[in-house]
Amino acid sequence: SIYEMFGNECCLSTGEVIKIIGFKINKLIASICENNEVSRFSAKVELPLNFPGLYKIVADKTPYASIEEITRKVSIGPTRFGHPCFYSPEDIKLGNLTIKHGEQITFNSVEEVNGTMAVNCGVVRNNQSHSFTLPLSQEGKFYECEDDQIYTLKEIAEWKIPKCRNRIVKLSNTLHTWDSSNPLPENFDGCLILTPVYEVQAVMKFRKDIVHILSDLDVEVEDITDCCDISSFLHPLSLEDVFERTSKEFPMVAEVMEGPSGSQKPYNLLHTGKEIVIYKKYQATRVLASEIRSDSPKRHFLIPMSYKGKFKRRPREFPTAYDLEIARSEKEQLHVVATKAFDSPHKELFSVSVGDQFLVQQCQTSEVLYEGRKKVIDVLACEQILSDTYKKVLLPMYMEGGFVEVIHDKKQYQLSEICKEFRLPFNVKVSVRDLSVEEDVLAAVPGLQFEEEITDSYLLISSTSGPVESWEIPVYRFNMSVHLLSRDIQAVVPPATKTTVEEISEEQYYMVRRYENQTLHPPPRPPKKPT
């Protein structure tokens, strides 16, 4: 019989042998949540996994009864999402370590230790990480810890919904303006209970694609795993799976089972059935840039270091004197114009008027009189530019004003020069477009802010048949499945590499910044007014 549900078509005949390769959440049923329960006035709405917005997870109040139950129901894996955290209301005594009640335990991986399946765990004490293992047989009450990260719905569906449980989430950022097609109420910022609807992913002997079967399909099946030769089935791999292979296994030949959507190169080249060479895996640097505009949504880009266009500087804006201190450099003196007045509460410090111009000097301390007592505070030493002279002034570092940079530099810069010579964030506009590409998407953007350099994971691929160019494929933003072919590779040296400027969505922008900033210490806060 041919079954067709929600665009998934599959022919299942009696006796057909199917290899189940996974389960996947197909969509989510959402209900508005009040006090951890479904609201009496809430209608259930269907949300696709690409529904816009960023969400925070509400910790599950129902405990797990054992480590084994956690490993069965919660995703634990090598990626950045696969490290869930739990705590026990009771102390857990191990050989030479006692895990205190309420202490956050990070679950890192599941593996066999001395013949027993166990979870590799870690706790952090006084900024020191302590590793240990918990056997799957360990019983007790284990509660999910609070999670302050933000996620897309797709990430929550793939990693953060335990099997056989629902998930409560709180909307953190809608990212998009509300319209009548949005199934959620206008200005909604509350909690949702998400109920997953699963699909079964399978492969068949005579099909080269992945078959998606909805879990509520009324068909009877029998488990024949023990008496079936599974070597005759294709073994699909995601790009993450390919990236986890050792470097010695590259290059490799693969056939696309599910390709990405998109009409631009290389998306349109990677259709189902296409044979490709995957030459190597590596980390590459990109500059994260955002369009300069006052309204939203802004466009966001990841620019490769090989970009051949040139840039001219654009004025930066600084909301406080503290930001001026961060931006100043030894290479050139920072020249700014005040856009907002500031009346100093201390006679020792300067009051700023709109239009005042300053050359920023250095950070220092100064003694001021505050409520009859002398206090030492941080100040920014500047030179005020007058009509025919300069006047030394001190601005309080906590000053909330507004400044715009005056640009004297007319030079055109390559991307690599900017990253080497200046501190990011840095404002620019394209002065000479990249002539090596048909369409330079950055050339049409009136202004860009280079925010930070990031490092991301890539695979280098090309076509197997007469390739003239190879492409860098981002592992975590490219939805594609392949299966490996046992075939010799004619050319181990890839053809000329094409790197492209990648435009990313608002959600992807927040994800990129989140991952990059996890390893960085937050900048110090600007000084407060003396009290």
Query: In the chain, where are the structural domains located?
Result: 1-59+147-233, 61-145, 236-307+413-517, 317-405
Q: What pLDDT score was predicted for residue 87?
A: 95
Q: Determine the CATH number of domain 317-405.
A: 2.30.30.40
Q: How far is CA 363 from CA 227, 229, 326, 418, in A?
A: 76, 73, 10, 25
Averaged pLDDT, 358-382 = 86
Peptide bond into 446 cis (omega under 30): no
Supply the DSSP symbol for 516.
H
List phi, psi (to 5°) of 185.
Answer: -60, 155
Q: What rounded mean pLDDT belongs to the chain?
A: 83
Nearby residues of 223 by Cβ (< 8 Å), 6 or more positions away: none
**Count of CB atoms situated within 10 Å of the CB of 29:** 15
Instruction: Please indicate whether residue 200 or residue 287 has the higher confidence score (pLDDT).
Output: 287
Peptide bond into 251 cis (omega under 30): yes
pTM: 0.67
- Domain 61-145 and domain 317-405 have a common topology: yes
pLDDT of residue 336 exceeding 80: yes
First to last CA, the chain: 78
Dig out the tokens for 522 from the structure: 């937050």
Rg of the chain (C-alpha set): 28
Q: What pLDDT score was predicted for residue 72?
A: 92
Q: What pLDDT score was predicted for residue 10?
A: 57
Percent of the chain with pLDDT over 90: 31
- Pick from 67, 525, 156: nearest CA to 322: 525
Averaged pLDDT, 103-113 = 90
pLDDT of residue 451 exceeding 60: yes
Relative to beta strand 310-313, strand 317-320 is unpaired
pLDDT of residue 79 exceeding 90: no
Q: What pLDDT score was predicted for residue 522?
A: 39
- C-alpha 498, offset from chain centre: 24
Question: 467-487 burial, b if ≥16 CB within 10 A, otherwise e?
Answer: beebbbbbbbbbebbbbbeee
136-166 confidence digits (pLDDT tens): 999 999 999 998 888 888 888 888 899 888 8
Q: What pLDDT score was predicted for residue 518?
A: 43
pLDDT of residue 524 exceeding 50: no
Q: What pLDDT score was predicted for residue 174?
A: 57
- Quote the CA–CA distance of 30 and 42 in Å, as a whole number: 9
Query: How many residues are listed for the chain in this entry?
Result: 531
List phi, psi (to 5°) of 341.
Answer: -75, 150
61-145: CATH architecture: Roll (2.30)
pLDDT band at 515 (very low <50, low <70, confident <90, very high): low
Highest mean pLDDT among 37-51, 217-231, 392-406, 508-522: 392-406
Q: Which H/E stretch holds residue 391?
A: strand 390-396
- Quote the CA–CA distance of 112 and 16 in Å, as a whole number: 35
pLDDT of residue 528 exceeding 70: no
Of the given ranges (151-165, 206-220, 437-451), which has the lowest mean pLDDT? 206-220
452-506 confidence digits (pLDDT tens): 999 888 999 998 887 888 999 999 888 888 988 887 776 678 888 888 899 988 8
Query: Under a CB-based contact definition with an 8 Å cutoff, are residues 301 and 289 in contact?
Result: yes
Q: What pLDDT score was predicted for residue 523?
A: 43
Of the given ranges (73-77, 223-227, 501-505), which has the lowest mean pLDDT? 223-227
Q: What pLDDT score was predicted for residue 41?
A: 55
Q: What pLDDT score was predicted for residue 490?
A: 66
Q: What pLDDT score was predicted for residue 8?
A: 53
